[in-house]
Amino acid sequence: MKRSLIIAEIQTQFKLLKDELKQELLDLQLSLQQETKSSMGDKYETQREMIQQEISRNLEQLAVLDDQLLVSELNPKLDTIQNGNIVELILNKQTILIFIGVSIGNVKYENTSIIKTISLDSPLGKLLIGKKKGDKIILNQNPYLIQDCY
């Protein structure tokens, strides 16, 4: 499979998610500006704090997506699996494609293949980091063979 085509599709999904987060951020900032102080001061402050926390979460998610976009543009050619790699796993004679980075769900590739995106902190991500082609891992009592990494 062409790594560059797969990465392009993943980046498209990253950018769509990033646009959604930016719109949500704008909506939250507008809500914060429109929040009027009520006679119950505590309620007003609580609402503003909740909106501010949501804004902070969105900013963090945007930063993570930006970082991951940069990592996915790299073409790691190392012997071991790392952030930004696409990994082909074999489980029960079926091939599973995994992108290691930020979990954004499944990404369709060429309308037939599905690439699962996982985070580095996921159980599978933790098992894969540092492994190489031909290694075997076990997750939830299921044996996986690392078929390829690119």
Residue 107: strand, helix, or coil: strand
Mean per-residue pLDDT, 127-139: 94
Look up the pTM and report it. 0.69
Q: What is the pLDDT of residues 28-47, one digit of tens each?
A: 888 877 765 554 556 667 77
Domain 86-149: CATH architecture, name and number where available: Roll (3.10)
**How far apart (Å, rounded) are the C-alpha atoms in residues 88 and 95?**
6
* Residue 144, beta-bridge partner list: 137
Domain positions in the chain: 3-73, 86-149
Angle at 133 between CA 127 and CA 136, to 5 degrees: 45
- Strands 113-119 and 94-101 turn out to be parallel
**How far apart (Å, rounded) are the C-alpha atoms in residues 72 and 8?**
9
Q: What is the pLDDT of residues 69-100, one digit of tens each?
A: 666 555 556 678 988 888 999 999 999 999 88
What's residue 39's pLDDT? 46
**How far apart (Å, rounded) are the C-alpha atoms in residues 35 and 115?**
42
Rounded to the nearest integer, the mean pLDDT of the chain is 82
